[in-house]
């Protein structure tokens, strides 16, 4: 049986329905919304999440391939070290990240274990105890400074560290995300023995070079990594205010997200403002999938944003309110209010209840009830009768099915999209949960 919905009269008794503002009022002016969102940081956060996303280790390792691409060059690090019997050595290390892997473990106290593979161009300037100075670069012939390692080619480096990821929504609507290397903990720094031998270099010579630099990294690893962390600082990016404006509109409060790490799973919860109804819950997932949870009022607000953008940001002549139930979505459609709030609301509304489910890879919407809701000035018995008649639709429900495959923009308002497949759909009174995978 579909869940009971409040009539207009009942709604007036208990206050406004979830996110009852019209689409025009909610998102007709993105700039104004951004300014209003600036006050969102004045509203204390609740202990709930407006948005909750979960991603598996397998999916993260697939997505990192798109991030790394052909390689990410870091700014060269220049530092000085002292080696026994060799004097002071000025080391210049230029790293190009060629790959990365995540290893999510519950015992890592909420931190992410990341393994980074890079090619290191090492050049040195050394002064021995006799005052002789020599410059050594990758591939250059070895000078007469006995014992100083010389790299015949860029050295493959393997770095394993524990890092704390962060996602933060600022009051100016920008979103910062990344990791802070300054607070990272080094697990190991060594050469990568699995890297292929470069062309034109003897395998025995290459193995000897790797062994030499592995010993060097082993003795200097902590200090070198600390200097690298200070040098690089934060590795991340900042999304523009368009992303943050949408997050504010759906009820996300400014501040840092709560990030938790369990075995093979990373979960991110964006804090909800106190005005948010419902709560976003973590969705169980496995394999190469992403789970997304939205609070009930966030679903309503996001729907209005999508409808308004589909209409070209033009004012809409109607209001659409959504209310979630157990595997069903209720809606109220009525014309935009013309009279001020001091006058009684004499608008009628079209009410519907739609059951949602996934069936053989397709999203099915089945109308379970449809009726006209009369204004509160009309005796409630008429709305009761109208509701009962509307439930007769469930005897021969109208069903509509859509492909469970959608194209999502990589970032809002971007023309670059990524195809995703909806693997699971859960609707409750608290919110909506989706499980998606790359199509």
pLDDT digits (tens, 9 = 90+) for 224-244: 778 777 777 787 888 888 889
Regarding whether 220 and 73 lie in a shared domain, the answer is: yes
Regarding whether 257 and 141 lie in a shared domain, the answer is: no
Domain assignment present for residue 13? The answer is yes
Range 134-158 average pLDDT: 59
The number of distinct structural domains making up the chain is 2
pLDDT band at 17 (very low <50, low <70, confident <90, very high): very low
Regarding whether 272 and 232 lie in a shared domain, the answer is: no
User: Of the residues 211, 238, 265, which one is the last residue of a structural domain?
Assistant: 238
Q: CA 102 to CA 113: how far, in whole Å?
A: 6
Domain assignment present for residue 3? The answer is no
Q: CA 80 to CA 88: how far, in whole Å?
A: 7
Regarding whether 81 and 43 lie in a shared domain, the answer is: no
pLDDT band at 412 (very low <50, low <70, confident <90, very high): low
Regarding whether 295 and 251 lie in a shared domain, the answer is: yes
Regarding whether 393 and 287 lie in a shared domain, the answer is: yes
User: Of the residues 190, 217, 238, which one is the last residue of a structural domain?
Assistant: 238
β-pairing, 431-438 vs 290-295, is antiparallel
Regarding whether 49 and 64 lie in a shared domain, the answer is: no
Domain assignment present for residue 433? The answer is yes
Regarding whether 406 and 316 lie in a shared domain, the answer is: yes
Q: Which domain holds residue 360?
A: 8-56+240-438
Burial 209-226 (b: 16+ CB within 10 A, else e): bbebbbebbeebbeebbe
Q: Which of 153-167, 222-236, 279-293, 294-308 is the least confident region? A: 222-236
Contact 412, 243 (CB under 8 A): yes
Regarding whether 310 and 251 lie in a shared domain, the answer is: yes
Regarding whether 195 and 125 lie in a shared domain, the answer is: yes
Regarding whether 185 and 257 lie in a shared domain, the answer is: no
Q: Which of 35-39, 70-74, 354-358 is the least confident region? A: 35-39
Regarding whether 280 and 228 lie in a shared domain, the answer is: no
Q: Which of 31-45, 250-264, 308-322 is the least confident region? A: 31-45
- For 297, how many CA atoms within 13 A lie in the half-sphere containing its CB? 24
Domain assignment present for residue 145? The answer is yes
Domain assignment present for residue 2? The answer is no
- Judged against a pLDDT cut of 60, whether residue 159 lies above it is answered with yes
pLDDT at 292: 95
Q: CA 18 to CA 11: how far, in whole Å?
A: 10
């Amino acid at each position: 049986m579909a869940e009971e919905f409040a009539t207009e009269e009942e709604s007036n008794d208990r206050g406004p329905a979830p996110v009852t503002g019209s689409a025009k009022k909610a998102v007709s002016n993105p700039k104004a919304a951004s300014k209003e969102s600036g006050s969102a940081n004045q509203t204390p956060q609740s202990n709930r999440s407006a948005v909750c996303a979960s991603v598996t280790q397998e999916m993260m390792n697939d997505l990192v391939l798109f991030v790394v691409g052909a390689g990410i060059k870091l700014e060269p690090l220049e530092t000085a070290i002292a080696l026994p019997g060799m004097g002071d050595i000025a080391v210049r290390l230029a790293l190009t990240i060629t790959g990365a892997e995540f290893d999510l473990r519950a015992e890592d106290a909420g931190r992410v274990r990341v393994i980074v593979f890079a090619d290191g161009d090492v050049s040195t300037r050394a002064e021995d105890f006799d005052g002789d100075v020599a410059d050594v670069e990758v591939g250059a012939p070895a000078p007469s400074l006995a014992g100083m390692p010389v790299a015949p080619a860029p050295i493959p480096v393997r770095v394993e560290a524990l890092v704390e990821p962060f996602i933060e929504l600022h009051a100016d609507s920008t979103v910062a995300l990344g990791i802070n290397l300054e607070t990272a903990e080094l697990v190991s720094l060594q050469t990568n023995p699995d890297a292929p031998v470069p062309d034109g270099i003897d395998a025995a010579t290459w193995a000897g070079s790797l062994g030499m630099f592995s010993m060097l990294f082993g003795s200097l690893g902590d200090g070198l990594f600390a200097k690298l962390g200070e040098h690089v600082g934060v590795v991340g990016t900042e999304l523009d205010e368009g992303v943050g404006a949408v997050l504010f509109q759906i009820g996300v409060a400014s501040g840092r997200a709560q990030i938790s790490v369990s075995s093979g799973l990373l979960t991110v919860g964006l804090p909800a403002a106190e005005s948010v109804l419902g709560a976003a819950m973590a969705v169980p997932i496995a394999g190469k999938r992403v789970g997304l949870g939205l609070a009930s009022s966030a679903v309503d607000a996001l729907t209005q944003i999508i409808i308004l953008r589909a209409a070209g940001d033009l004012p809409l002549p109607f209001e659409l309110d959504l209310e979630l139930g157990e595997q069903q979505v209720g809606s109220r459609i009525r014309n935009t209010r013309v009279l001020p709030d001091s006058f009684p609301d004499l608008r009628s509304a079209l009410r519907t209840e739609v059951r949602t489910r996934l069936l053989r890879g397709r999203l099915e919407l089945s109308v379970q009830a449809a009726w006209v809701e009369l204004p509160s000035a009309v005796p409630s018995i008429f709305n009761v009768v109208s509701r009962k008649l509307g439930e007769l639709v469930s005897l021969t429900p109208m069903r509509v099915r859509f492909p469970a495959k959608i194209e999502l923009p990589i970032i809002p308002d971007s023309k670059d999209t990524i195809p995703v497949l909806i693997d699971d759909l859960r609707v409750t009174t608290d919110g909506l949960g989706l499980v998606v995978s790359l199509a």
